[in-house]
Structure 1
Amino acid sequence: MDPAELLHQLYLNVLQILKIYVKFAFITLIVYFVAEWYIVRYGAELEAQLDAQLADNDHPASNSTWGKVIRVVLNFFVI
């Protein structure tokens, strides 16, 4: 093979890799926008349901930080 043909093959391979990255970015953006739409539309209702469940809980409140950590993590992913 001559160098021009090798460069052409290299170009085609790089182009195929870039196409894969563009497809992955497009799918990621679609998932992101669907998640944002869901959070904006149903986020307040989910938060209200979670607060209602916590208010209806008959167990005494504890001083455990584990529940607080879980609550912060959930709020981070929901909001």
Structure 2
Amino acid sequence: MDLMELLHQLAWNAFDIFKIYIKFALLTLVFYLIAEWYILRYGAELEAQLDAHLAEGAPLQGQSPGERPESNSTLSKVLRFVVNFFIL
């Protein structure tokens, strides 16, 4: 094998790795857009239900009356998964 053939093989392998990262980025973007659609579609409904529940004076489990719960956003879970993927 000569040098040009080795460089061509190395470039082809680097391109294959790049394609894998592009596919992962597109898949992450699709998950992000689905999560955003879900939050925009059902978020107002869930907020209204939560506000009605809190207006009745019934506290959620482990909370004092009138206190809002911590965010349980799908987007934060997706971002946490992506960060954990790149760290591990």
Q: TM-score, normalised by structure 1?
A: 0.70
Separation in 2, partners of 1:69, 1:46:
12
Q: Kindly provide the amino acid, as one letter, of the partner of residue 43 in structure 1.
A: G
Q: CA deviation at 1:15?
A: 0.7
Residue identity over aligned pairs, in percent, reads 56
Separation in 1, partners of 2:17, 2:64:
56
Aligned residues between the structures: 70
Moved over 3 A (4+): 58-62
Separation in 1, partners of 2:24, 2:69:
32
Q: CA deviation at 1:61?
A: 3.2
3-state secondary structure, aligned to 1:45: helix
Q: TM-score, normalised by structure 2?
A: 0.64
Structure with greater helix percent: 1
Q: Which runs of 5+ in 2 are unaligned?
A: 75-88
